[in-house]
Chains A and B, each alone.
Chain A
Amino acid sequence: MPTLWQNAVKGVSGVHQLTDEWVEQYDLPVKIAAKLAVPADQVLGRVEMKRMDPSTQYGVIAAREAWRDSGIEDIDHDRLAVAFATGIGGVWTLLNGWDTLKEKGPRRVLPMTVPMLMPNGVAAAVSLDLGARAGAHTPVSACASGTEAMAVGQELIRSGKADVVMVGGAEAAIHPMPIAAFSSMQALSKRNDDPERASRPYDIDRDGFVMGEGAGALVLEAEEHALARGARIYAELAGTSVTADAYHITAPDPEGLGATRALKAALFDARVQAEDVVHVNAHATSTPVGDKPEYTALKSALGGHVDNVAVSATKSQMGHLLGASGAVEAVLTVLAVHERKAPATINLDHQDPEIPLDVVTTARDLPQGDIVALSNSFGFGGHNAVVVIRNH
């Protein structure tokens, strides 16, 4: 987490050329991505690695880090829940199993294949790891999944079903098939010769998103539970909302109506006013069609106050982690409020004149006093999810 935050403030790109042999083998049109900075096998043991899909490996690593950081030692495990999202699930396991079937026959398909490929595998593994017995949930809403997990966690606490919820999202889809599929729909940047500059939200020359991978995890805790144990509280999850466009299976509503409703509902849920918002961690994936409707929605929901909001597009640095993006961006939004600093957006050389947001290109201090920040996520399927973070 300290490294994540330092790099987000400095503006360090994690996007590189892919060196895997399958890039040339299949002559993929996209040859860049943001892979894990530290490979999972440097953190997990050999046996754990074998029994988990990469998405689960990343989720378990992030959840363990968050758990250690929370300092929770003594807890009623019947009151501890998990809400851990993924957009795609165990795609490596699924496709490796298919390759094995074709090459070696059914007998060689690993018996662990099903628990490794199921989308709830991450939540289940985290639940098993922590001994969380108040339910293990897996919201799946494409690139809104990680943010929706925050909403699920909030409901579990508000409804009294849990005292503590491990929330997060994990994704490991840097595999040639998903790359080919996203590339076929013209969603990915093909700036192969300049990877660090490929993810450029709001820039006039943006040409698609860059695939990332990894996981984010946060420990959500009922306020009285956190206060009673003297927890270090980073911030308050003040509100959430989830809406659906019901407009098109992949294209965002050009008027951003679903996103506008999500923003307004989240502000209402948190009982805050548009004028309280000082910072937005935007969804901003760097696709030509996606970035503008979010601006339209922010303008509709925040009114003239939109001009006073410091907007960060952190996918410019770490690419798009699909179902994990909302979780990692929630971590960054919480830290932004806690540290009172909006992280950097890189590669904004010529801002799209149709998106006149106040984009933070160099990390910027946020005001003292009570502040509110938003994190938006939108996903294929017309999913919109927003979280509202307030200082505590």
Chain B
Amino acid sequence: MASNEEILAGLAEIINEETGLAPDAVQLDKSFTDDLDIDSISMMTIVVNAEEKFGVRIPDEEVKNLSTVGDAVDFIAKAQA
């Protein structure tokens, strides 16, 4: 079970790998689209990599509800519980 801090750090690493964004730019209140400029294709790549890293399943219909990094961290934390 990863803590929320560990999930955030893990997501930041995945996002950096996919987009080149500096890990410290990835904060809980940041919007994937408006703040981080992540397009839908990159978002799906990040989702699939997060599934593998955290051993969870993020259904396609859930992805549109993950508007901020915090939403994604909460979803992964709950899915792991």
Residues of A within 8 A of B (CB): 45-47, 50, 107-108, 110-112, 115
Contact = CB atoms under 8 A, between A and B. Distances in A.
A110 B19 CA distance: 14
Contacts of A112: 41, 45
Given A112-B41, A112-B45, A107 B20 contact: no
B51 interface: yes
Main secondary structure on A side of the interface with B? helix
6 smallest beta-carbon distances between A and B, as pairs: A47-B20, A111-B44, A111-B41, A111-B45, A112-B41, A107-B48
B20 A46 contact: yes
B18 interface: yes
Contact of A110 (B20, B45, B51, B52): B45
Contacts of A47: 18-20
A108 B57 CA distance: 12
A50 B18 contact: yes
Contacts of A46: 17, 20
Give the interface size bracket for B toward A: 10 to 19
15 contacts: A46-B17, A46-B20, A47-B18, A47-B19, A50-B17, A50-B18, A107-B48, A107-B51, A108-B52, A110-B45, A111-B41, A111-B42, A111-B48, A112-B45, A115-B41
The majority secondary structure among interface residues of chain B is: helix
Contacts of B41: 111-112, 115
A45 B17 CA distance: 11
Interface in B14-51: 17-20, 41-42, 44-45, 48, 51
A107 B45 CA distance: 10
B48 A108 contact: yes
Contacts of A115: 41
A46 B48 CA distance: 19
A314 B20 CA distance: 40
Interface in B53-75: none
A111 to B, nearest CB: 4
Nearest to A114: B41
Contacts of B44: 111
A108 to B, nearest CB: 6
A107 B19 CA distance: 20
